[in-house]
Amino acid sequence: MKRSSGVRIAATVAVSALSLALVTGCSDSGSGDAKDSTNSASSSSPSAPAAKPLTTAELEKLLLTQGEVEGYKVTSGDDTLPKSKSEVKTDKAECDPLAWSTGGLAPGDTDANASNSVAEDKASTATAQPEDAADLFDVNLTFVGLSSYEGDGAAKAMKAVSDGVTACSGGYSLAAGDDDGKVTKVASEKGSGLGDESLAFVETVDMGGEGTATFHTEVVRKGNTIATFYAVNIAALSTGGAADIPAAVVEAQVAKLK
């Protein structure tokens, strides 16, 4: 598997479309100080509330839009994100929620799902032209997914992701479209601690004979709605670096959830 295919598998999206999205504007700083990888707000419990689940149309209205996070460019993500779970397959059912979370898909059992991508708009802050083409790809692109659930579905989805981090710690095989790859390691890490419940994990991906790459994902529950965040930086892959999930993006998106 070539490096471009590794990127595509890790992001569960087509690298050509991802490249186009990156060229239009992208990137950011780290996620800053964080709390434990699995957190519950002191005033709430993991049990999902009785609120009516949101529809896909309602979730789309809750996604971040252009201008809501200063210095960031928001795009629909339609060309870079998988359209359904059938496009993303693993060799272990326990690992499915992890793979879905990285593709902006619902990590749990629901048809209510919406997604887009958010990246720093370098064009708005640039003071000089990039020195070479590689600089155009030195940007972090964050895939954001929203999903809503009935009853305790959101809490169950969070547990499925948490259980998956443990069950899949030794890695799993992943196929997206015509490409396949290998996640060699999964581990929990510190996340934002936002919402009623949150967790974060890091995956190490085999880049097909060209070393490994590291990718970060965060999943946050607020009520019966779940937000997933996954970051990619193509330029960082060549040096073994990783893209951090921007704290500003997570904070702004979670603040919009009901």
Q: Do residues 233 and 139 touch, judged by C-beta distance below 8 A?
A: yes
What does the pLDDT look like over 77-93, one tens digit per residue?
767 788 889 988 899 99
Into how many domains does the chain fold?
A: 1
Range of the domain at 129: 3-256
Backbone angles phi, psi at 103, to 5 degrees: -105, 15
Residues 184-212 have a mean pLDDT of 91
Q: Do residues 199 and 229 touch, judged by C-beta distance below 8 A?
A: no
Tell me the C-alpha distance between 244 and 255, whole Å. Answer: 20
Q: What is the pLDDT of residue 175?
A: 85
**The domain that contains 111 carries what CATH number?**
3.40.1000.70
What does the pLDDT look like over 92-148, one tens digit per residue?
999 999 999 998 999 999 999 999 999 878 775 544 454 555 556 677 889 999 999
User: What is the reported pTM?
Assistant: 0.80
Tell me the C-alpha distance between 235 and 134, whole Å. Answer: 7
